[in-house]
C-alpha cells in the first residue's frame, strides 16, 4: 500500500489537480481500509463519466465516512429475541465481568473478561466499541499496572448457541476462530439453568484462560426454557406425535399424486378426444374434458348422499317397501 505522502504528491503534480477533490475519497479509502476501495472507486468512475450538477452529493454519498455510517448498524450484538427466543435472556440484559490472575514469574497479569448479554459490552474503557465478549490484560511489574493485552470478540463475529443435551439445563455460547495476532482464540460460555434463590445467579465465573481458550460459566434462571404452562398449571404443549411427522409427509405425497393424476386425466382425455376427431382442435377438446370433469365434481355430493342413505337405511324408498 502506498503512503499518504505519495498520494498527496501525485495529486498536487497531476493534471487532475483541479479535480483533486473528486479523488480524495478514493485516497482516504485506500489509506483507511481496503474494503471501501471498490465502492469509492465506483463513485469516481461515475463522476468522471457524468459529473453533472449533483457530483458533490454523489461524492459525499460514496465517501468512506458515509459508508462506515451505513455499515455501523449492521454490527450489533446477538439478538436475544431471535437466537434465544426459547429463553428469557432479556431479563438479564447488561454487561457482566469477572477477573482472573495469571502468575508467570517474575510478573503477574490480571485479566478482566466482560460479556454483553443482549447488548454490546459497556463501561469498559479498554474494550473496543461493538464488542460482545472482551478480555483485557493488565501486566503488574514492580507495582506498575501496564495494559498488555486486549482480546475483543466483535458483535458481528460468528457465534453459535447450542442447548445442552440434558433437557432444560442451559445453553452454550460458542465463539471460535478469532484472529488475534499470531493466535486463534476460541471462547465457550455456558449459561446454566438455576433456581431463582441461588446466590451465585447472574454472575460471570471464569473457569480458565490459557491464552488461546476462554471458558466461563453463567448461572441464571434466564437459561431455563420458558414456562409453557397456563394459569391452571396445565401444560399447553401438545404431546409429540408418535409418527414423528410421517403423517404430514404421507398427506403431502397423496396430494402430489392426486394433482399428477388429475393433470394426466385432463390432458390425456383432451388428447384422446382430439385424436378421435371429436373436436376441431386440441383447445376445444381440453375445454370439453374440463367441462365433463366439473360436471363430475358437481355430482359427487349427490352420489355420496345416496350412498350414505343406502348404508344407513334412511332412503326414501323404505316407505314403499313390500309387505
Q: What three-state secondary structure class fits 165?
A: coil
Which pLDDT band holds residue 262 (cuts at 50, 70, 90)?
confident
Bridging pattern class, strands 203-209 and 183-193: unpaired
Bridging pattern class, strands 170-180 and 159-163: antiparallel
Encode pLDDT of 266-301 as tens digits: 787 777 777 776 666 777 777 777 887 788 888 888
Out of 48-62, 74-88, 111-125, 128-142, pick the least confident. 48-62
Is it the case that residue 202 has pLDDT exceeding 90? yes
Mean pLDDT calculated for residue range 87-98: 91
Res 279: pLDDT: 62
Between 236 and 298, the more confident residue is: 298
Q: Which CATH superfamily is domain 80-223 in?
A: Mannose-6-phosphate receptor binding domain (2.70.130.10)
The residues spanned by each domain of the chain are 4-72, 80-223, 250-317
Is it the case that residue 145 has pLDDT exceeding 60? yes
Q: What is the DSSP string of 214-241?
A: EEEEEEEGGGSPPP-B-TTS-B-SPPPP
For residue 261, which of 271, 269, 249 has the smallest C-alpha distance? 269
What is the C-alpha to C-alpha distance for residues 173 and 218, in angstroms, rounded to an integer?
Answer: 11
Is it the case that residue 65 has pLDDT exceeding 60? no
Strand arrangement, sheet containing 170-180: 159-163, 170-180, 183-193, 213-220, 203-209
Out of 52-61, 75-84, 159-168, 294-303, pick the least confident. 52-61
Res 213: pLDDT: 94
Q: Which segments within 170-320 are labelled E, that is strand?
A: 170-180, 183-193, 203-209, 213-220
Residue 160, phi then psi, degrees to nearest 5: -135, 135
Q: Are 23 and 7 in contact (CB under 8 A)?
A: no
Query: pTM for the complete prediction?
Result: 0.48
Between 47 and 126, the more confident residue is: 126
H or E stretch at 20: helix 20-32
- Within 13 Å of residue 123, how many CA atoms lie on the same side as its CB? 5
Amino acid at each position: 500500500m502506498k503512503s499518504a505522502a505519495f498520494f498527496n504528491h501525485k495529486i498536487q503534480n497531476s493534471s487532475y489537480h483541479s479535480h483533486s477533490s473528486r479523488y480524495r475519497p478514493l485516497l482516504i479509502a485506500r489509506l483507511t481500509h481496503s474494503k471501501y476501495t471498490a465502492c469509492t472507486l465506483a463513485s469516481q468512475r461515475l463522476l468522471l463519466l457524468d459529473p453533472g450538477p449533483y457530483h458533490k452529493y454523489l461524492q459525499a454519498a460514496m465517501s468512506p465516512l458515509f459508508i462506515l455510517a451505513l455499515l455501523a448498524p449492521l454490527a450489533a450484538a446477538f439478538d436475544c429475541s431471535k437466537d434465544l427466543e426459547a429463553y428469557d435472556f432479556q431479563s438479564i440484559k447488561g454487561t457482566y465481568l469477572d477477573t482472573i490472575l495469571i502468575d508467570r514469574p517474575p510478573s503477574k497479569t490480571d485479566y478482566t473478561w466482560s460479556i454483553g448479554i443482549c447488548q454490546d459490552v459497556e463501561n469498559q474503557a479498554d474494550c473496543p466499541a461493538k464488542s460482545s465478549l472482551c478480555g483485557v490484560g493488565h501486566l503488574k511489574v514492580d507495582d506498575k499496572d501496564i495494559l498488555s493485552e486486549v482480546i475483543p470478540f466483535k458483535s458481528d463475529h460468528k457465534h453459535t448457541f447450542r442447548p445442552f443435551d440434558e433437557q432444560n439445563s442451559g445453553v452454550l455460547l460458542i465463539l471460535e476462530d478469532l484472529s488475534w495476532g499470531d493466535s486463534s482464540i476460541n471462547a465457550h460460555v455456558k449459561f446454566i439453568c438455576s433456581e431463582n434463590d441461588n446466590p451465585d445467579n447472574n454472575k460471570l465465573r471464569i473457569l480458565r484462560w490459557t491464552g488461546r481458550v476462554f471458558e466461563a460459566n453463567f448461572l441464571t434462571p434466564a437459561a431455563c426454557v420458558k414456562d409453557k404452562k397456563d394459569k391452571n398449571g396445565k401444560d399447553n404443549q401438545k404431546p409429540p406425535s408418535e409418527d414423528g411427522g410421517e403423517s404430514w409427509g404421507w398427506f403431502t405425497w397423496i396430494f402430489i399424486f392426486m394433482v399428477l393424476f388429475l393433470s394426466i386425466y385432463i390432458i390425456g382425455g383432451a388428447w384422446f378426444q382430439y385424436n378421435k376427431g371429436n373436436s376441431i382442435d386440441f383447445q376445444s377438446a381440453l375445454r370439453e374434458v374440463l367441462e365433463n370433469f366439473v360436471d363430475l365434481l358437481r355430482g359427487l355430493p349427490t352420489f355420496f348422499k345416496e350412498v350414505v342413505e343406502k348404508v344407513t337405511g334412511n332412503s326414501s324408498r323404505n316407505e314403499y317397501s313390500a309387505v
